Structure 1
Amino acid sequence: MLTYIIYLLAAACHGAVLGEEPRFNVFTKNVTVVVGQTAVLPCSVDKLGDYKNKKGWVVWLDHRDKLLTFEDRRIIADERISLERTYVKEWNLHIRNVKAADEGIFTCQINTDPVQIRPIWLHIHEPAKINRMLSSSDVTAKEGDTVTLVCNVTGVPPPTVSWYRIIENERDKGERGKEKIGIEGEVLLIHNVTRYCDDTYECVAFNGVPPADSKRMRVNVEFPPEIRLPNRKIGQSLGKETILECVIQAYPIGVTVWKKDGKILDQTWKYRTEVYVDDGITITLSLRVQSIDSDDFGEYICEAENLLGKDFETMVLYEYIEYKPPPTTTTPKTRITTLYDYGPSYLPGTNGDFGDKPGTGIIERPDVGSESGSSEQILDKNSSRPVSRTHYWLMMITNMIVLCVDWSLSAAVR
């Protein structure tokens, strides 16, 4: 009796299991991927068991209700699509290299009675992209015009367009070389444009999906020439050379020349003109004048002309005379030496009569602090003629010898 009861319970349970329908256990509703990536649409089914052997199976349909897979087989030609079953319960749909056209509602379906479906919305994001054909390129306008710059963009979600002005000398410094304009949108309007708006502008489109896209466009503003002289007058000495300079702003630059006496100064050995480009609208025009003579002094005209107008400025080259202080003269102080004759009659113990013959001299020293270069002269007392120092010392030595001999003779006589 107990055995029979157990048999009945087992049979009932077995029938209940066989009769239980499968169901989904994943409730994902949205999947978002970027164009070019792989999208994985999840689908997991519980308690499928032997039910599929009777009449149930799992299929995938796309947003056009086109059948993509039947059980674990792909039944369309698109090789990007496959069914991946890492586990028994999983019936995941893989779409490789997704495209914008793949976006829509995909359906995982269990063919029970009634049919069970699980919709999953596939969202495709696209990075911002600038349409070069529909966007502005370089623009040329006259002062006072209104300039319109267009940056046509696409992308999902819709991109934000920011505008920047490129700093002329810092083009290669990335974000540091830009000045942001406080306007966002696909169109930038510049009203009453002036030469100071002449520059390079950049639009940057970004929607949160890297990478951002950008495009640069040049705005050229036409205006007549304006000339500025760093110096209106310059002086130089005869025989030397000099350089005259004028700074010209214009777009287009047009014709630029130096003139003198109404004639254009061509390139010769005498005159040489050179152009230095400072930026897109500014140049420096220099004139080198070599081996200056009197005919080169006078007025020089820097002249510039384009289709919108003409301008000129006058510069003066004058002779520079270098100041030379007058020469200074100094009178040297003279040292005077007078020669006296002590004579042979001068003997120790005499009255000290020197006699009248020329002989030994006496040197008068110059004052302390006398000017350098002062000379010394030795004068003969009788003749008042200068004698050389060598002659003076010879006379001194001779007189001394004579004195010594006379003294010896006098001593002997005694």
Structure 2
Amino acid sequence: MDRLNRITLYISPLILLLSLVSAAENSRAPPTGALELQPNVKTRYEEEGKSFTQYCRINKDYTPAGPIRWLKNTVTEIKSDRSIKVQNKSASLSTLWFGKIKRTDEGVYTCVAKIQGYDEEAKIEFKLNVFAGIDFANVARNQTADLGSDYTLKCDVQGDPKPRVSWDRDGKTIDSSSANGKYRLSDGADSLTTLTVMKVAKTDGGAYECEAEQITDISSRSDRVTITLIVNYPPEFPDAEAEKAYAFLGGEVNMQCSAEGQPRPSYEWFYKEDGNLVEQPGYINYDPANAASYSILNRNMTDKSLFREYVCKARNALGTAERTFIIKEVDKPKSPVLRSHRVSGNKIEIELIPPQVEPPMTIKGYRALVRPINTGWENATTIDFNMGKLHYIDSLYHGTDYEIKFAARNEIGLGEFSDSQQVRTHDYSSGTKAGSFSGKVIVFVSLFLFVLLI
């Protein structure tokens, strides 16, 4: 009995020790490698407004004992909503999806899972840092400066971390070494970086590139925006000399006035009388989207007093420019001389001799009026010819008498018509065409009657 008691005394502590070891093994935490993140990073840097997905997987060597959960800042369990969703793809895989990331989403995110054989939950975490990407929303794409002023181009790019800004012009970087007194760079608060153009000239207008570079702890990125500098300047005419226009009494003249300027000029017309400018009505201003603005004044020269000087004034907010138009009277072109003509079937070949004109006028072509005899000229056919030796009038009726008269045309308009000339086209030749046509009719009628009798 004493021996048995002694054995019991020795065995009991051993059993107790084994029980404690077994309990400790069952309550231990899972190994660090039980959970894996994909991508496997301790800190994620994501741009505000973007979306991303984080994966959490139970290692294949371990068996899940419950659903995978996600916590924010080790306390709050994440529930799915419109901007963030938890989805367990399987017992061993869960995803954490962010829609449009907000700055308030920053924090520590923990993936938590129960694993068979372990009382404590397995945990793995990552830190989410949200940065504001490069944002050109507040940058004016078109900026306007007055000629001769010092103008500051603004590239108000936003971002956190604050982007660093540089400027390009015609593919070349603008910096302190290349400014040459033309540019001045400055970097103000609130990420407002500016480029000042000194004494703005028309040649300074055009595209400037604002490039922003943003650097985070793990990456860098860049973007650029084009800013167009529009230079305002007063109206100016490419040619300041007076423009001469020509017209004949009873004709008309069109005067077109177009000036450069920014903003685009508007126009007014005047005529000179006794040294004074008198407002001239009847003009039309045009402002097409893809071309320079212009104005047209049309005058019917019904009286000799209309042959005078006209003044076009172009005006914008920065000034006014003038251009003078001098209208000179010239004689109408005399009628051309019909040198010869030749009739061929229902076509007439004619040769005209142009009239003499005083420079700077030239003959540009002719007009013919053609009518069958005994019909009115108001029903005549009008045919226009360019300059050339021979001209043709075709598609006439066979065996018909026609009257034809001609006028010459110069830069201003038509001159007087000549006296009419009489011409007769050839008759159809007897036999072939008429006889052939009649024969076909007879054959057709015979066949028709034959079919009816059958």
TM-score by length of 2: 0.46
Task: Say yes or no: does 1:98 pair with 2:105.
Answer: no
Match in the other structure for 1:192? 199
The question of whether the paired residues in 2 share the 8 Å contact of 1:142 and 1:223 is answered with no
User: Identity over aligned residues, as a percent?
Assistant: 21
CA distance in 2, matches of 1:326, 1:43: 100
How far is the alpha carbon of 1:49 from its aligned partner? Answer: 6.9
Instruction: Check conservation: 1:139, 1:218, Cα contact below 8 A.
Output: yes
1:103, 1:251 → 2: CA distance?
50
How many Å separate the matches in 1 of 2:150 and 2:290? 21
CA distance in 2, matches of 1:227, 1:259: 22
Calculate the aligned-residue CA RMSD, in Å: 5.4
Query: Greater CA deviation, 306-315 or 213-222?
Result: 213-222
Q: Name the counterpart of 1:250.
A: 261
Q: Which residue of 2 aligns with 1:148?
A: 152
Partner residue in 1 for 2:298: 288
1:39 is aligned, of 44, 50, 53, to: 53
Tell me the residue number matched to 2:31. 23
2:323 counterpart SS class: strand
Cα deviation, residue 141, structure 1: 3.1
**TM-score normalized by the length of structure 1:** 0.50
Is the partner of 1:151 in helix, strand or coil?
A: strand
What is the rounded CA distance, in whole Å, between the counterparts of 1:140 and 1:298 in structure 2? 40
Matches within 5 A, 1:12-411: 15=22, 18=26, 21-25=29-33, 26=36, 28-29=40-41, 30-31=43-44, 35-42=49-56, 44=58, 61-62=71-72, 65-69=73-77, 74=78, 84-90=87-93, 93-95=96-98, 97-108=100-111, 118-124=124-130, 128-132=134-138, 135-136=139-140, 139-155=143-159, 187-195=194-202, 197=204, 219=230, 221-223=232-234, 225-226=236-237, 228=239, 232-252=243-263, 253=265, 256-261=268-273, 262-267=276-281, 272-277=282-287, 282-305=292-315, 308-322=318-332, 324=334
Residue 42 of structure 1 and its aligned partner are, at CA, apart by 2.0
- Matching residue's letter, 1:258: F
- Residues 18-65 of structure 1 deviation map (CA, whole Å, 9 limit, x = unaligned): 476412322612446553525325253687779x99xxx987553xx3
Structure 1 residues 246 and 107, CA, compared in 2 at 3 Å: closer, same or farther? Answer: same
Compared with structure 1, are the counterparts of its residues 288 and 199 closer, same or farther at alpha carbon in structure 2 (3 Å cutoff)?
Answer: farther
Query: Which deviates the most, 99-108 or 78-87?
Result: 78-87
- How much has 1:290 moved relative to structure 2? 0.2
Contact 1:150 1:187 in 2 (8 A): yes
Q: Does the CA contact (< 8 Å) of 2:29 and 2:122 recur in 1?
A: no
Q: Secondary structure of 2:199's match?
A: coil
Aligned to 1:334: none
Counterpart amino acid of residue 101 in structure 1: T
AA aligned opposite 1:276: Y
Kept in 2: contact 1:194–1:221 (CA 8 A)? no
Deviation at 1:17, TM superposition (A): 6.6
Distance 2:69 2:297 in 1: 87
CA distance in 2, matches of 1:307, 1:126: 42
CA contact 1:127–1:206 (8 Å) conserved in 2? no
Check 1:230–1:125 CA distance in 2 against 1; reply closer, same or farther (3 A cut).
farther
**Stretches of structure 2 lacking an aligned partner (at least 5 in a row):** 1-14, 176-191, 339-454
SS at match of 2:258: strand
The structure carrying a bigger strand percent of its residues is: 2
What is the rounded CA distance, in whole Å, between the counterparts of 1:247 and 1:256 in structure 2? 11
Secondary structure class of the residue paired with 2:259: strand
Gaps of 5+ in 1: 1-7, 166-178, 329-414
Deviation string, structure 1 residues 194-247 (Cα, Å, up to 9, x no partner): 34555687868798999x896877735142544646972222222111112332
Q: Does the residue aligned with 1:286 lie in a helix, a strand or coil?
A: strand
Q: Residue 153 of structure 1 aligns to which amino acid in structure 2? A: V
Distance 1:288 1:181, change over 3 A: farther
**Paired letter, 2:197:** I
Change (3 A) 1:198 1:223: farther
Amino acid across the alignment from 1:238: L
Contact 2:249 2:329 in 1 (8 A): yes
Q: What is the aligned length?
A: 288
Shift in CA distance, 257/163, structure 1 to aligned 2, threshold 3 Å: farther
State the shift of 1:145 in Å: 1.2
Instruction: State the alpha-carbon separation in 2 of the partners of residues 286 and 164 from structure 1.
Output: 42
Q: Which residue of 1 aligns with 2:186?
A: none
Q: Kindly tell me: are residues 101 and 138 of structure 1, through their superposed partners in 2, closer, same or farther at Cα, counting changes over 3 Å?
A: same
Question: Measured at CA, do residues 313 and 86 of structure 1 come closer, stay the same or move farther in structure 2, by a change above 3 Å?
Answer: closer
Offset, 1:102: 1.6
Letter in 1 for 2:106: E
Distance in 2 between the 1:79 and 1:140 partners? 44
Mapped partners of 1:77, 1:42: distance in 2? 16
Cα separation, 2, equivalents of 1:101 and 1:31: 15
Cα drift, residue 115 of structure 1: 9.7
Q: Deviations over 1:323-380 (max 9, x none)?
A: 659999xxxxxxxxxxxxxxxxxxxxxxxxxxxxxxxxxxxxxxxxxxxxxxxxxxxx
Secondary structure in structure 2 of the residue aligned to 1:243: strand
**Distance (Å, rounded) in 1 between the aligned partners of 2:335 and 2:98:** 98
| Structure 2 counterpart of 1:321, one-letter code | D
Secondary structure of the corresponding residue to residue 101 of structure 2: coil
